[in-house]
């Protein structure tokens, strides 16, 4: 798998895991877990954008 695709996949995984964490935090009333989930989603978005940028630079 190319570097750009790896970043995009990792970004998607981080975003999904973050959504699960956020939902778990909401369900348990843990604002800390909810915040960690939101942060992980942002990390996923940035990773995905990084992969897309790498892909565009190759063209």
Q: Is 59 helix (H, G, I), strand (E, B) or coil?
A: coil
Q: Distance between CA 9 and CA 25 in Å, rounded?
A: 24
**Residue 20, pLDDT score:** 98
Which regions in the chain score pLDDT beneath 70? none
pLDDT of residue 15: 97
Q: Which residues of 26-46 are buried (b: 16+ CB within 10 A; e: fewer)?
A: eeeeeeebbebbeebbebbee
Output the six-digit token pair for 55.
């892909």
pLDDT value for 11: 96
Look up the pTM and report it. 0.88
């Amino acid at each position: 798998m190319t570097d750009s695709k790896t970043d995009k996949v990792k970004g998607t995984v981080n975003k999904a895991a973050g959504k699960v964490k956020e939902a778990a935090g909401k369900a348990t009333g843990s604002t800390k877990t909810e915040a960690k989930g939101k942060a992980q989603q942002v990390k996923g978005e940035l990773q995905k954008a990084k992969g897309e940028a790498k892909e565009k630079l190759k063209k």
